[in-house]
Chains A and B, each alone.
Chain A
Amino acid sequence: MSQVKMTVNGKEMSGDVEGRTLLSQFLRDTLGLTGTHVGCDTSQCGACVVHVDGQAVKSCAMLAMEADGAEVATIEGQAAPDGTLNTIQQAFQDHHGLQCGFCTPGMVMSTAALLKENPKPSEAEIRDYLEGNLCRCTGYHNIVKAILAASGQDVSALAAE
């Protein structure tokens, strides 16, 4: 066992890990940050996306030791300290961009990374970017719509609220 330290959502955190401990396991099991979900074991589903030093990563595909000393952001740190949802989270609620909620943390974290590099993505750019985030509930319709809305684009012409 080795000790790792990292800054998670602005707070210093540390814990003992095995060499094989994944970042997703460390966040969930050691730190109790269960908002990060694990939906597969082949790094396909994207439910576990977090940000490490500003980059979106699948936390099931990174060892906790690799994140030693890093700045990590998870879904738990996205809302304001008083609980007010951020623009992306609010857009997902406004446009019914989630149903069971399991893929949602990864969707929100991937969206944040997308909008950082491309503040006004087209529908096609959004669909392409979400290639690594699976959702089984929404058929993606309202997720794409929510992301368009979160980036300040008019979605009123799109069918079906």
Chain B
Amino acid sequence: MPKDHGIGASPKRREDVRFLSGTGNYTDDINANGQAYVHFLRSDVAHARIKSINTDAAAAMPGVVRIFTGADFEGVGGIPCGWCVTDRHGEPMQEPAHPVLAQGKVRYVGDQIAAVVADTAEQARDAAEAIEVDLEELPAVVDMKAALAEGATKVHDDLSSNLCYDWGFVEENKDAVEQAMQDAAHVTTLELRNNRLVANPMEPRVAIGDFNRATGDSTLYTTSQNPHVIRLLMGAFVLGIPEHKLRVVAPDVGGGFGTKIFHYAEEAFCTFAAKAINRAVKWTSSRSEAFISDAHGRDHVTKIELALDADNNFTAVRTDTHANMGAYLSTFAPSVPTWLHGTLMAGNYKTPLIYVNVKAVFTNTVPVDAYRGAGRPEATYQLERVIDKAARELGVDPIALRRQNFITEFPYATPVAVEYDTGDYHGTMDALEKMVDLSGFEARRRESEARGKLRGFGVNCYIEACGIAPSNLVGQLGARAGLYESATVRVNATGGLVVMTGSHSHGQGHETSFPQVIAEMIGIDESMVEIEHGDTDKAPMGMGTYGSRSIAVGGSAMVRATEKIIAKAKKIAAHLMEAADADIELKDGTFSVAGTDKSVAWGDVTLAAYVPHNYPLEDIEPGLEETAFYDPANFTYPSGAYACEVEVDPDTGKVSIERFAAADDFGNIINPMIVDGQVHGGIGQGIGQALLENAVYDENGQLLSASYMDYAMPRADDVPFYAVDHSSQTPCTHNPLGVKGCGEAGAIGSPPAVVNAVVDALQSGGHDVTHIDMPVSPSRVWSAMQS
């Protein structure tokens, strides 16, 4: 019988009522009194020197309040980067300045040249068209390898080259890996591209800056996954506003997927301009603007080699990646191809030797940073594609080859510096095999062939490191922030609780799932618990939501704070019942004295805390409110096995996904309904990457796929129903809930299964195709079939 409340139940989401009735409160729904509107004049060329900007005609246009250019930001801090990667030679990465508005040069199509503030959005836009900008166009650097060539045009004149860093990991293994490659019975090599994507949360970014001259306080409303991080970055590094004078609010946020983690120039601009003109300033991105100003994702070009011995045991992996940074370093960009990527190259396998080389490259394109999965999809894709290719070359079953090489003993220290605490890779593969009806596949293939179609089956595994992250560890790796989480639990006199958490919910359903944990711990109804998030004036501190960290890190902070609440409440209960603290038990919202029939209800204790007439005032303070900060001891390691069955139309090359199955191990699960939904969404994005989505630049640095007319978002008829299973559960050993996190798994685990299935389909039709780059669009599949 499924539980009907507490941990493991699937109550309906409480946030849904407002979203379904049009009463959500998204940032663009907010309007400050007397606000002005800003329109950014963005560069329409990829690389140019700014010779002059004449704003005279624009400034005279109706409604214009003020026009800002880069000159207004001389002496103001630039947009900071939150992670410094150290290269193979022990040197820090090259880190260019990133001004709020362009100074001297524009470096990508979309770079902000000027900002027009006017009474209405239309007036701001009209006036922007009247600004005269004289640009001296420079050659655009788009291709990563060309960017590193001798004599290439530099994106940043003051850097030595377009190389951000050349990272080797683990550098000491380099020679041993080379030796293993030479000694191998078989080496499979694969060159591939992990396609550039645009995150495309359905809500475009919005920022509203406000300034209260009476108090000197600034407020920023913004579409962020982590308002406290924005407060810290913008306040400390850009505008010089201390935390107590700066409030950042991220209300209902319409999806993030990573691209709303970062601190963007538009946020700093609106906050700065509001003070400069003494009037609130609002910016609402259009979708067209989002394509050229939201940080993009992925964009790796990789060569991977897998060495096997004569018994098909993996002996070494070597991978060489060029990672596109775009024109500037976005907040966490340097960490994505390195610490979120190289550390995952062991995958689910006991490969003893691994060497990862990553060259991060500046180009005249939109900055690239974390997108759902962030580094882990890139690791999983190359590893699971090369294993599939090896299985074909060796004529062995791809599932059997994987099973043979699975890690089975835990904890397991990988050769790439992480220690998996728990996992059961055979367990998830068993669960997957139960779902996919492999024995019926040949019949389905024949049925497809009878209709002139090719059918293919593809499988892959994945491991991810999430629940980000131990602060002392990431500090050593170059993070410029701690990655703990905080929670304050406030119990009111009549027994209700409010949790103020630094985790932000923008679709994940925290308002529903977090109360389930507290309801379970105290034994009260979930309706007695309210979650507050997204406002720096409420939660004490917060590192926000990304890296599948909310329940593993934010939830753990909430548990720790609630444990403190319960400990204090037991002291009060002991006093009320004249018993010893140690004898007090809490069950179903009632405190009792062990071995007696004495009891007091939760509400009696909470009332006593605020009406302390009969209270141990000499021992404890009145009131019942506790804060905890939780810093994880390790990453968490969700894992799984995914399978995809496709049908390919050989006449057109069109691929249709016929079946998709996902077996995940997320450890303990708080709300199965929400977890399933997270996996569905991740799979939808993974199928999007594999089949449809591609951010394409031409050689001049123009983004060709810059609207929904050109960038193929997955639609309802591109995907099937998904079979998901998370019955395989090996709880995390180092957080109090035993949870691992589920937000990114679907996007990490799904692309290789799709491409593996397409290759399988084509091979079944006699085509000697071993690889097609994503997206496996009809034209690419058809072309591959002709060669």
Contact = CB atoms under 8 A, between A and B. Distances in A.
Interface of A: 18, 20, 28, 33-42, 44-45, 47, 74-76, 78-79, 83, 85, 89, 92-94, 96, 98-105, 108, 123-124, 126-128, 130-131, 133-145, 158-161
A92 B20 contact: yes
Contact of A37 (B16, B26, B746): B26
B680 A139 contact: yes
A137 B507 contact: yes
B708 A44 contact: yes
Given A96-B13, A137-B255, A161-B672, 11 more contacts: A34-B29, A41-B707, A79-B20, A83-B21, A101-B20, A102-B203, A130-B716, A137-B507, A139-B746, A141-B677, A161-B676
B674 interface: yes
Contacts of A137: 202, 255, 507, 677, 681
Interface in B650-680: 672-674, 676-677, 680
Contact of B20 (A89, A127, A130, A138): A89
A131 B713 contact: no
B10 interface: yes
A44 B10 CA distance: 33
A47 B681 contact: no
15 contacts: A38-B28, A42-B288, A96-B677, A98-B19, A99-B677, A100-B203, A101-B20, A130-B715, A130-B716, A134-B715, A136-B713, A137-B681, A141-B680, A160-B722, A161-B676
Given A85-B20, A92-B20, A100 B684 contact: no
Nearest to A129: B716
Contact of A45 (B13, B202, B252, B680): B202
Nearest to B722: A141
B119 to A, nearest CB: 13
B13 A144 contact: no
A136 B257 contact: yes
Given A36-B22, A74-B22, A133 B253 contact: no
Given A101-B24, A158-B721, A139 B287 contact: no
A103 B200 CA distance: 12
Contacts of B287: 39-42, 45
Contacts of B709: 42, 44
B685 interface: yes
Given A40-B287, A40-B707, A89-B21, A96 B673 contact: yes
B22 A139 contact: no
B413 to A, nearest CB: 35
3 A-B pairs with least C-beta separation: A35-B22, A139-B684, A101-B19
Contact of B12 (A38, A40, A42, A94): A94
Contact of B254 (A37, A96, A123): A37
A39 B200 CA distance: 9
A159 B724 contact: yes
B215 interface: no
Given A41-B288, A93-B17, A34 B22 contact: yes
B263 to A, nearest CB: 21
Contacts of A123: 721
A54 B433 CA distance: 48
Interface string B266-310: 000000000000000000001110000000000000000000000
A104 B13 CA distance: 14
A100 B201 CA distance: 9
A138 B677 contact: yes
B20 A131 contact: no
Contacts of A34: 22, 26, 28-29
Contacts of A37: 26, 202-203, 254
B209 interface: no
B716 A133 contact: yes
B682 interface: yes
Contacts of B15: 101
Nearest to A103: B202
A137 B253 CA distance: 12
Interface in B476-531: 506-509
B399 interface: no
Interface band, chain B: 35 or more
A5 B235 CA distance: 46
B418 to A, nearest CB: 29
Given A134-B202, A144-B716, A139 B707 contact: no
Given A41-B288, A130-B716, A136-B685, A142 B677 contact: yes
Contacts of B715: 127, 130-131, 134, 140
Given A104-B20, A138-B680, A139-B684, A39 B202 contact: yes
Contacts of A135: 202, 716
Among A47, A89, A99, find the residue whose CB has the most chain B CB atoms closer than 10 A: A99
B56 to A, nearest CB: 26
B135 interface: no
B683 interface: yes
B716 A45 contact: no
Nearest to A47: B202
A85 to B, nearest CB: 6
A160 B122 contact: no
B22 A105 contact: yes
Contacts of A20: 122
A90 to B, nearest CB: 8
A108 B20 CA distance: 8
Contacts of A33: 22
Nearest to A79: B21
A38 to B, nearest CB: 8
Given A39-B202, A99-B509, A134-B708, A93 B21 contact: no
Interface string B162-193: 00000000000000000000000000000000
A136 B288 CA distance: 17
B255 A100 contact: yes
A20 B123 CA distance: 12
Nearest to B285: A41
A159 B721 CA distance: 8
Nearest to A83: B21
B160 interface: no
B506 A139 contact: no
A138 B12 contact: no
A135 B708 CA distance: 13
Contacts of A101: 15-16, 18-20, 24, 252, 254, 507
Nearest to B203: A102
B205 to A, nearest CB: 12
Interface string B220-254: 00000000000000000000000000000000111
Among A75, A102, A134, find the residue whose CB has the most chain B CB atoms closer than 10 A: A102
B157 interface: no
A143 B715 CA distance: 12
B723 A160 contact: yes
B33 interface: no
B677 A40 contact: no
Contacts of A144: 716, 721
A76 to B, nearest CB: 4
B753 to A, nearest CB: 14
Among B28, B288, B681, B684, find the residue whose CB has the most chain A CB atoms closer than 10 A: B681
